[in-house]
Amino acid sequence: MVNRLGADVVDAHSHIGAMEAWKFYDLKEPVKPTVYDFPDRRAYLGHIDRLGVQRALILPNYGIPVQEQPFSLNDVVLDAVSSSDRLIGGLWVSFLPQNKDLTLKALENAGEPGIVALKTTFLLGGNPNPNEWDEQTQEVAEACFAAAEQHDLVFHFHTSPGGSSDISNFIPLVERYGMRAKIYLVHFGGGVSGHIRLVPRFLDWVEQGYRVYTDTTWSIGFGARWLLTEIEKRGVGHDRVLFASDEPWSDFESEYAKIAAAPVSEELRKRILYQNFLELYGQEG
């Protein structure tokens, strides 16, 4: 493996598994907007070898409106993490009552070696705001958080501007569960409004003892720069941001450039690119 990055780097959030083309929105023909994907562990390891990435956390690939699809890739994750000590992974779960059986089946593997996370999204329905959950949703959510607590799993949540995934809907979730479980806000709000709402609040949460984490994938221009400079200004949160690529839904090079070019100390840059991952997931250096 040749490291062409000039630094020790891990990838704290990317996706494994093939996904079919789909007629998104009003398109006339199915498309695969990511162009490529990583169907199995061999393809994924080849990908990080080409980049010079040492270790990675993998999650089921998703994006089409088929509830069962990401669940079907939990076995791909389990195979990968059991076959390579460079990979750790997360299991797909859902708070939707219609997915209760699939979620409970996934949680049966929560204690497997190499499984360190859970992942869900509200792009496929539902809302992260616990104040809007019905009794059935609450039951499934509690099962997920109980597994996260029992097995010390990091709970990854997709965030993006507008709709159910808007960061405003995650504020009550973090404040209800963020002392009990580690909550990882993927994409740091995912856009301008999310960044502006989240930067001060995220660091307030850290100071208040909430177990919150994030990465800067999909962040807009100023987003990563503001977050990282605020961390150094306030002196908190240096251990709560991880580098990630979100491949194949983003691209590694542009996500890396955000961290490499940020006007912050090399010490903080090293923590984000490498050390925070090792500390959060108990990996040896």
| pLDDT confidence bin for 191, thresholds 50/70/90 | confident
Domains of the chain: 10-281 (3.20.20.140)
Q: Is pLDDT above 70 for 188?
A: yes
Percentage of the chain modeled with pLDDT above 70: 97
Report the predicted TM-score, pTM, of the whole model to 2 decimal places.
0.96
What average pLDDT is seen over the chain?
Answer: 95
pLDDT tens per residue across span 230-246:
999 999 999 999 999 99
> What is the pLDDT averaged over residues 203-218?
98
The predicted structure's pLDDT at residue 1: 38
CA distances from 150 to 21, 86, 107, 180 (A): 37, 24, 11, 10
The predicted structure's pLDDT at residue 2: 41
